[in-house]
Amino acid sequence: MKLLRYGPKGQEKPGLLDASGTIRDLSGEIDDISGDILTPQGLARIAALDPDALPRVEGTPRIGPCVGQVGKFVCIGLNYADHAAETGADIPSEPVVFNKWTSAICGPNDDVEIPRGATKTDWEVELGVVIGKGGRYIEEANALDHVAGYCVINDVSEREWQIERGGTWDKGKGCDTFGPLGPWLVTPDEAGDIGNLSMWLEVDGHRYQDGSTSTMIFGVAHIIHYLSQFLSLQPGDVISTGTPPGVGMGQRPKVYLKGGETMRLGIEGLGEQTQRVVRA
């Protein structure tokens, strides 16, 4: 299934994308794409519905973030061998963990704001993992059973604040609009081989990132297992799993967003995002 949320900011309704690409309204069946709806039982309830019997959504509504009421937005850094190489970093021996604040979450096609005073705002196309079955101390062999679905994430980053402002990556990662999610939450049965999905990002038509999840250092199952040793994972938590090479920081000379650009990005089978870059 491809699940989504549509409508004005803060008033999104749950929806389903049917086989013809038409949005079907789920608001008569569920309250939101969040929490218990993302558990195996909740998803089974949606899967049992006949899409043709659901109301069609007319026109072209705004698409909101594909998950609502996100509890945690956990990210993995330097998780692609070729990206680590372009930044001059060593291959991590364990996953590098940081957080984006949930206030960073926005729709996949909403404007991305460069914060006031920012000078090194960058892009990162990433595979997002949405937890459906919670747990702690999850065995790696069973970890994928805890996934509700996958989505596209743009891990927008302000590099000066991330790297040069006194430590901790979080302050350069969690600014408002720095976490576009969607357009769809794609359930595992339709997501394809998550270990070998092509992914790309363009700025004003120039393709900077053109990679594959196949160069991940730590795969999705290991990341879930690893994180669950330190924190409980709950339905609706989002994990962003790292980016392939081609970020602005890795260009020679470096390229950063100034405002006025258009970013387009996507992952094979998971959809595309388009964001206009504006200054706050």
What is the CB neighbour count within 10 angstroms for residue 177?
Answer: 22
pLDDT of residue 86: 76
Tokens of 192: 């394809």
Does 244 have pLDDT greater than 80? yes
Domains of the chain with bracketed CATH:
2-53 (no CATH), 73-279 (3.90.850.10)
For 202-212, the pLDDT digits (tens) are: 999 999 999 99
d(CA 215, CA 170): 24
Does 242 have pLDDT greater than 80? yes
Burial label, 210 (beta-carbon count in 10 A; 0-12, 13-18, 19+): middle
Residues 240, 76: contact at Cβ < 8 Å?
Answer: yes
For 7-49, the pLDDT digits (tens) are: 999 999 999 999 999 999 999 999 999 999 999 999 999 999 9
H or E segment to which residue 85 belongs? helix 81-87
Please give the backbone phi and psi of residue 70, each rounded to the nearest 5 degrees, phi first: -65, 130
pLDDT of residue 61: 98
Tokens of 61: 């509504």
Bridging pattern class, strands 2-6 and 185-186: antiparallel
pLDDT of residue 166: 81
pLDDT of residue 88: 74
pLDDT of residue 7: 98
Does 271 have pLDDT greater than 90? yes
Does 227 have pLDDT greater than 90? yes
95 prior amide bond cis, ω within 30: no
Report CA torsion sign: 82, 88, 92, 96. Answer: negative
pLDDT of residue 135: 97
pLDDT of residue 21: 96
Q: Can you tell me which residue has the tokens 């709806």?
A: 37
d(CA 24, CA 187): 16
pLDDT of residue 13: 98
For 59-113, the pLDDT digits (tens) are: 999 999 999 999 999 999 989 987 777 777 788 899 999 999 999 999 999 999 9
pLDDT of residue 85: 74
Residues 12, 64: contact at Cβ < 8 Å?
Answer: yes
Q: Mean per-residue pLDDT for 145-150?
A: 98
For 157-198, the pLDDT digits (tens) are: 999 999 888 878 899 999 999 999 999 999 999 999 999 999
Q: Can you tell me which residue has the tokens 């994928």?
A: 144
d(CA 264, CA 206): 10
Work out the mean pLDDT of the chain and round it to a whole number: 96
d(CA 68, CA 118): 28
Tokens of 8: 């004005």
